Amino acid sequence: MRIGQGIDIHRWSDDPRRTLRLGTVEISHSPGLDGHSDADAVTHALCDALLSAVNLGTIGQHFPDTDETWRGANSADLLTRVLSLVAAAGFVTESATVTVVAERPRLAPYFESMSAALSTLVGAPVSLSATTAEGLGSLGSGEGLAAVAVALVKEK
């Protein structure tokens, strides 16, 4: 068994056309996040946790923001590619959890759908939670959103 950790942070976008997508689920009534791909911080953190668990680098190494191939990329597709890398390394995911740190929006109503979507993609339970930064720092002042993920994998 191996454990990996991943962290992803994005600032809020000024572009009114950006939608907020977290855990592959569109979150309504919220501005989107700024990023090269779809800026799905939850899925990005999960990708990094999985890559970390099997010592395969980071999402930024595999899908760099300097490569136009990944501009606007759907993070579900990135996660599928990461899972292929994990499988090729001889591992399978046992479980994962992701915690979002943000002052807004309220995410509890979306946890069930995010968990179902990610669990289906990963083929193992993925749980979600959220907390605030209690007004401290850039996250606490509402400048963006962070996600922290932990993944447990085992050798096939």
Tell me: the pLDDT tens digits for 94-113? 999 999 999 999 999 999 99
Predicted local confidence at residue 153, as pLDDT: 98
Q: In order of start, what are the domains of the chain with their CATH numbers?
A: 2-155 (3.30.1330.50)
Q: Which residue has the tokens 């069930």?
A: 112
Give residues with Cβ within 8 angstroms of 99, minimum separation 6: 128, 129, 130, 131, 147, 148, 149
- Higher-pLDDT residue of 76, 29: 76
Amino acid at 85: L
| Residue 93 pLDDT exceeds 90 | yes
Tell me: the pLDDT tens digits for 30-72? 999 999 999 999 999 999 999 999 999 999 999 998 988 899 8
